[in-house]
Structure 1
């Protein structure tokens, strides 16, 4: 999440320099309910000992209303086709959702 937040902030600054005024809260979609819960409540010490610095950064950005973490089901997470081993059904549905056409289809 921290890496994603840093990328979103970088993109926001880049768009601002290019003349676009962005005023809305940025969404970082997450398919992990535990990560969302920990981001909102970093007092869960036993589960998060190794990520304390990242937790504070995430919590700071949440409180400043820079980002929010809407939940998205794993089946609807389009980026998974590029980063994870996924089921055959999900693999064949994802290109359509991404707008990728079949290069072998007859024209």
Structure 2
């Protein structure tokens, strides 16, 4: 399974066997993901932020990214005449 991620720090933390003080709040999740990566159940490929489709649902994006994402999701203009 591929878990696409646009955060290089999160990918590095998941692959890093050394726990840092900065990651204490994600300790359980990190160990779970680390175990799945080690067993090759999941992969964490990097995905550019503008290609992350979920971003239009969770954060403000520029108009170009918004319209490109709508096209990729096959969502048309709801105000266009039918």
Match of 2:69 in 1: 94
Size of the alignment, in residue pairs?
Answer: 82
CA RMSD across the alignment: 1.4
Structure 1 unaligned blocks of 5 or more: 1-25
Higher relative contact order (CA 8 A, sep 6+): 2
The residue that corresponds to 1:18 in the other structure is none
The DSSP-based 3-state class of the residue aligned with 1:51 is helix
Structure 2 unaligned blocks of 5 or more: none
TM-score (ref. length: structure 1): 0.69
- Which residue of the partner structure matches residue 56 of structure 1? 31
1:81 aligns with 2:56: yes
Cα shift readout 1:25-80 (whole Å, capped 9, x = no counterpart): x0010000000000000414132122222211111111111111111000110111
Cα distance in 1, alignment partners of residues 53 and 61 from structure 2: 11
CA–CA separation in structure 2 for the residues paired with 1:39 and 1:54 = 9
When normalised by structure 2's length, the TM-score is 0.87
